[in-house]
Amino acid sequence: MATERTLSIIKPDGLEKDLIGTIIERFEEADLQPVAMRMTRLSEREAEGFYEVHKGEPFFDELIEFMTRGPVIVMVLEGKNAIERNRMIMGATDPAEADEGTIRSDFANDVGENIVHGSDSPENAEKEIRYFFSDTDIYERNVE
């Protein structure tokens, strides 16, 4: 299994519910290590740029309003098969369909407010990491 990096966002509802520590603990327990992290509040422009592929979808305006209503945590997770494993830990986009024990099943209200985002492919992971982080923001872990 290849070591990969993926972009993870704890969305405004995750912060409103005081779940930062709980969510990061789930990643760390699964050996997905944060190698970059920051709290930020997305501007409308940043949120629209990040979710550009969803422009034109009926839920787009609602998504932008939600993603800009409070601060988020953006982070890069690194680990074996990180992209797929992060998606397993998050659970399905719609919490009603998410497996028990996943973040979205345990904590999310609905498909619009689903606590976390994770990249869905290597191409998108690269693009999404670049959207928020430069090389100097990303750290090697496990170094002496």
Active-site amino acid positions: 117
Task: Name the residue nearer to ligand CMP (CB basis): 79 or 86.
Answer: 86
Angle among Cα 130, 10, 106 to the nearest 5 degrees reads: 140
Buried b (16+ CB within 10 A) or exposed e, 19-33: beeebbebbeebebb
Residue numbers 5-44 binding ligand CMP by CB under 6 A: none
- The correct pick among 32, 63, 76, 129 for binding ligand CMP (CB under 6 A) is 63
Restricting to residues 74-113, name those near ligand CMP by CB under 6 A: 93, 111-112
Q: In the structure encoding, which two tokens stand for residue 68, read together?
A: 């800009």
Total site size for ligand CMP, rule CB under 6 A: 9
Q: Which of 35, 40, 52, 34 is nearest to 12 (CA)?
A: 40
Residues found near ligand CMP in the complex (CB under 6 A): 54, 59, 62-63, 93, 111-112, 114, 117
